[in-house]
Each structure stands twice: as C-alpha cells, then as structure tokens.
Amino acid sequence: MARASLGIGRLEGHNKKSVRYQKLYNQNSLKMVFILGISFAERNLVKKSLESFYGLGNQASARIMAKHYIHPTATVGSLSQKTVTSLTAELSTMPLETELRRRLQDNIERMRTMGSYRGRRHAMGLPVRGQNTKSQISTARKLNKVHRKG
C-alpha cells in the first residue's frame, strides 16, 4: 500500500520538515496567563508559578493557594479570570522581587554603617553567622562579596 493512499507523506506545497515543525509549534504554542505582569504558560502549576517569585517559598505559596481555594495540583490555565485578578491583587501588596532585594541590601548597609559584628563580617566578605573559616570560607566569599566603590 502506498504512503500517499494512507494519508501519510507530503502535503500539498509543504515538505516533511515544515510539517513537523508546524506540528511542534502548534503543540508548544500555549496561551499565557499574566500574574503580576509576568507571563506563565497554561500548563504550569500554580504552586511552582508562585514560588518563582523572589520572596515566595513553599509555605507562603501554599498559604496563598489555600486562601484562594486553589487545589495544590491546579494549573495556571485552569484558574478563572477572577482568581487571577485576586492573586495579582494580593501579590501586589507583598514585598517581592526588587523591593525585597533592596530591603536586604539596605539592612546589610545599615549593619555596616552601624559597625555591628555582622556588618563588619559582611564588609570583610567573611561568614556572618558563625560558620567555620578554616575550611569553608569559599562559599561565604561568593555570597558576601565586598562591593567597593571605585
């Protein structure tokens, strides 16, 4: 039996590669849902989408989902527009992303100017919370980089 009679093979005006890419493109082109101005694919889990925001972890995302009566395995595409709007409204009241990073940097700078022990350790790029400096200082040097002006 010939391939053409089975409906397998070339379409009119298309080669095999373009048909394959077109099928892949149609499978991967999903609708996007915007939460707090960031787009998420419909197939993403709501929990993972919330955890992708800097400042929201496992517990906070579970608490927010429980407050809005969202199932733990729900996807972003299954949310109603009203739920997405209420999620965005609640997230906009919380310190997230750049605002939270700025707060952390301000707190570190405050400790440095105050001259506290932790501030001095931050200024020297050393471990801040009592870790060993004999063998495990490399991670602290990466995390507590000294930002010198100049």
For 19-71, the pLDDT digits (tens) are 666 655 655 556 889 998 899 999 999 999 999 999 999 999 999 999 999 99
Backbone angles phi, psi at 33, to 5 degrees: -115, 130
**32 neighbors 84 (Cβ within 8 angstroms):** no
Which residues have a Cβ under 8 Å from the Cβ of 149 and sit 6 or more positions away? Answer: none
pLDDT digit string, tens, across residues 110-145: 999 999 999 999 888 888 888 888 877 888 777 777
Distance CA 32, CA 51 (A): 17
Is it the case that residue 13 has pLDDT exceeding 70?
A: no
Tell me the domain boundaries of the chain: 30-93, 97-130+138-143
Check residue 132 and give its pLDDT. Answer: 85
Distance CA 90, CA 105 (A): 24
Predicted TM-score of the model (pTM): 0.68
* Residue 33 bridge partners (DSSP): 40
Domain 30-93 belongs to what topology? Answer: Helicase, Ruva Protein; domain 3 (1.10.8)
